[in-house]
Amino acid sequence: MAPASTAWDLAVVGAGPAGAATALGALHADPGLRVALLDRADFPRDKACGDGVAPHVLDLLADVGVTGLVDDRIPVDRLRLGRGGLVAERRTARPAWVVPRRILDARLADAAVAAGARLLRHRVRDLRQHPGAVVLDGELSAAVVVGADGAHSVVRRALGRPRGPVALALRGYAPVAPGRRGAQVIEFGTWHQPSYAWSFDCGDGLANVGYGELLHGDRPAPTRAHLLERLEGLLPGATEGGRHWAGHHLPLSTARWRPPSGRVLLAGDAACLVNPLTGEGIHYAVATGIAAGRAAAAALRDGRPERAGERYARATRRILLPHLRHTALAARLARSTCVLEAALRASAADQRVFDDFVELGLAWGRFTPAIALGLGRAFITPGRPTGRSQEPA
Ligand SMILES: Cc1cc2nc3c(=O)[nH]c(=O)nc-3n(C[C@H](O)[C@H](O)[C@H](O)COP(=O)(O)OP(=O)(O)OC[C@H]3O[C@@H](n4cnc5c(N)ncnc54)[C@H](O)[C@@H]3O)c2cc1C
């Protein structure tokens, strides 16, 4: 039986970037809403991640009144992409940030609380939908629920939604190698595709270093030792002095994204939104979180909480679907060594191509004419096996 009264207007399961953004989106639209932000962990808490934060994330947060989040951090505006001696290194159109998730997520959760959310320590295990409300663990009820509970989402499972392709990645913190200072360095794998190792300078003498690859059903998942070995193989010296190693799954997006309708919404990793080219997920988490929060607020304002999912789908599909189709295509093409190397040569040769690839990998970018032209040129121009290196412009 559904409980007689609804305790919360909106309950958000998970207080990572997607969950905090959901609360912020809802409360920015209607500061009077009763919003519960539930997380199984106390904050600050760690989350295995490369810690790379695209500038677009800050734009989205500014729209819901959150500014100054990274004012004490050092921006990184150099990006080096490489594979087996082929390098494209350039300044990015806008700097990115490398912010340990222990810091970033606590700041986001604080911002949500400052906006009026109640942060509650609670591990959600069960979700039941009743005609007038959604009940969590038989004790918390809400008119709308947003599942922002990450890669292994309980809410997604309760909705009976399958997960698509998954990658596995391991990260640690190690003294930044001299040749990798002030940069985000990505070295694509030469064995399993897609795969890459990274070193992202945190600006405090340490780099976030890691390695990840797509999991295939027909071969065993790599062990921690394999992941460390592959990281060291691609970026020699990266693991030296490394600490705080932690691994996690990345639920990759596909071209067939279908948000659920009704009172229960999904955002971020729970909605399987990690870029299949780059492993970027914070931008999607914040973007879909804010959209879910706004959709919930609008549906509640109309007295139709059961329409929240429909509103969310309308708001997200237009921008998200074309982008997801393009990234799915790009990720498929990038499995071919020839295409990957052509993309690196094209990025080394042309700033526009480089910038468009960065947009495709970090935000809402698409497969642009500049990318197609650049790839075409790279294919017809005979490439040297140890292609050109481009110093920052
Ligand atoms: C190794 C690695 C490197 C990555 N590097 C980058 C990068 O550099 N840049 C980037 O943008 N993305 C990166 N990603 C992806 C990024 O980490 C995720 O996309 C992002 O964390 C998604 O945010 P989220 O809020 O959806 O989920 P999460 O950050 O996973 O947050 C989910 C929250 O839900 C809580 N929770 C889970 N289950 C429950 C439950 N049952 N009840 C209550 N609470 C629950 C958890 O405690 C957690 O706080 C990386 C991922 C990995 C694994």
- How far is the C-alpha of 1 from the C-alpha of 122, rounded, in Å? 22
CA nearest ligand 1 atom 13, residue = 280
pLDDT tens digit string along 289-328? 999 999 999 999 999 999 999 999 999 998 899 999 999 9
What domains sit in the chain, N to C, each tagged with a CATH number? 8-45+101-164+254-327 (3.50.50.60), 166-251 (3.30.9.10), 336-380 (no CATH)
**H or E stretch including 23?**
helix 17-29
269 C-alpha vs ligand 1 centroid, how far in Å? Answer: 6
- How far is the C-alpha of 264 from the C-alpha of 56, rounded, in Å? 27
The residue whose two tokens read 């064995």 is: 191
- How far is the C-alpha of 279 from the C-alpha of 275, rounded, in Å? 5
CA nearest ligand 1 atom 4, residue = 49
- How far is the C-alpha of 305 from the C-alpha of 148, rounded, in Å? 18
- How far is the C-alpha of 174 from the C-alpha of 198, rounded, in Å? 12
- How far is the C-alpha of 101 from the C-alpha of 108, rounded, in Å? 10
Euclidean distance between the first and the last CA atom of the chain, given in angstroms as a whole number: 65
270 C-alpha vs ligand 1 centroid, how far in Å? Answer: 9
CA distances from 185 to 80, 145, 373 (A): 5, 38, 25
| Segments in 170-257 forming alpha helices (H) | 224-234
Q: Do 299 and 9 form a contact (C-beta atoms < 8 A)?
A: no
Q: Which of 361, 273, 300, 309 is nearest to 96 (CA)?
A: 361
41 C-alpha vs ligand 1 centroid, how far in Å? Answer: 12
Determine the average pLDDT of the residues in 283-290.
98
Task: Please choose from 250, 275, 283 the residue to mutate so as to test ligand 1's pocket, defined by most ligand atoms within 8 A of CB.
Answer: 250
343 C-alpha vs ligand 1 centroid, how far in Å? Answer: 29
Determine the average pLDDT of the residues in 368-383.
89
pLDDT at 318: 85
pTM for this predicted structure: 0.95
pLDDT at 6: 53
Which residues sit with their C-beta closer than 6 Å to ligand 1? Answer: 13-19, 38-41, 47-52, 123-124, 148-150, 154, 169, 171, 210, 212, 248, 250, 268-270, 274, 279-283, 285
274 C-alpha vs ligand 1 centroid, how far in Å? Answer: 10
